[in-house]
Each structure stands twice: as structure tokens, then as C-alpha cells.
Structure 1
Amino acid sequence: MNIYGVALLALSYLLGQWLGEALGYFIGINANVGGVGFAMMILMLLKEWFIKNNRLTHEMESGMDFWSKLYIPVVIAMAASLNVKSAVSAGTLALAAGSIPVLVCFLVFPILVKNFSPKSNGNPS
């Protein structure tokens, strides 16, 4: 059912927006910094958690796949509407806001791969 995908997408979107607002507040600007990126990461982590705990049904997987495929075009449309001139004029802050999440992802990705890799069933293939 697609409703499961909508519920998880909504949950990840709300958490991501909250984290983006909190990050913006902590850096000292009145803006959402990386909220959509946080939401995408939360959605991926939720899906992997469901897979790891054998709670992902076919209906849930198809719903999540459907909405995650729609999510990327929405993100691109949102990014296209941003004021690029003001982001570039921010200089160092814009570079930090772009490079810090990338570096964090590079550090976190190996941990995620290690912890969420599928367990072998003992049969050599």
C-alpha cells in the first residue's frame, strides 16, 4: 500500500525539516540548512531498519519506492527555486553549509554499510 510510503516519507520530511531548522539556528542564520537532505537520509535509514528487522512487506516496499522516486523531482524543483545569487554572496557560509554535510556523509557511510549489510544465511554462493 502506498500509504505506508506516504507515512514514512512524511515522518522523514518533518524530522529532516526540524533538523535543518535546528542546524540553521545553531550556525546563526535564520534558514533551513540541509533539511531536505536530512529527510532523504532519514528515509533511507528507515527503509534499511525495516529490512534489517524483517518488517518490510512487499506493499510497504512498493509504497516507499513509489514515493522516493517522486521525492527526488520535488527536491530538484525546490532547489531550482532558490535564490542562487544570495547563496553565492554568503561566501564562506555557503561553502561550509555545502561541504560539512558532504564530509559527514563520507564519515557516516562506512558505518551504515557495516551495520546495515544483509546477513548471510550460511549458504555459500
Structure 2
Amino acid sequence: MAPYTHSCAADSARLLVSEVVTNVYAHTATLTVHIDISVHPESVTVAVWDDKPEKRPRVLCAHAGREGGRGLRLVAQVATQWGVTWPSEPDSRGKCVWFSLAGSVPPPVVRRDGQVLDA
């Protein structure tokens, strides 16, 4: 993710990837995690796959004295959209927690003669 094209989304994406990957390791016994990142002109979508489809992610009510329980609530609050998908094929990667963040489109570069250059 190029920082100049999605600077607002970059920090949020780092935070949410950390939360989702931490959830995978805290709540499953998986040895494998796949992360797919799709950068679009106006958004960034991140998908975190694990091979334990039987472990359903849940948004928990976090208690004041409790250390955990805030990961997916944070994802829900920060992401533009988010969800969980289970591919229908039995040999697929398992389940996927994904989220999208609105990005910012970089301003065009305009030369003195008025020619617009690709950013």
C-alpha cells in the first residue's frame, strides 16, 4: 500500500490487520494465515484467511477489566465495511475475515504547461 495514495487508510489497515491476525492465533490452532490486500483508487480491502472454518468470529462485549474482546469491535468501528465469508468448496482456505477502508485519491500532477501526468 503506497503511503502517498492511501495515507489515511494505511495506519488503519495496519491496526486492523494486527487485530484480525491476533484473533486468528488467539482463537484457532491454525499454523497458516493468508493475507490478501486489494488496493483500489478509492479504497483498500484486506482479507485474512485461516484454515479453521469451524471457529466463528464474534463481536464481543468488552469488559473494563478484561484484556481482550475488542478486536472485531474495533474492526467494525474503523472499517467502512467488514464481514466473514466461508467459501463453499471443501478444499478451500477455510474462512475469511475481510474489511474495507475508504482511501484517498492522490491529486493529479499537473505540469506548468497544463499537461496532467500519471501519479
TM-score normalised according to structure 2 size: 0.30
Pick the structure with more helix per residue: 1
The structure carrying a bigger strand percent of its residues is 2
TM-score by length of structure 1 reads 0.29
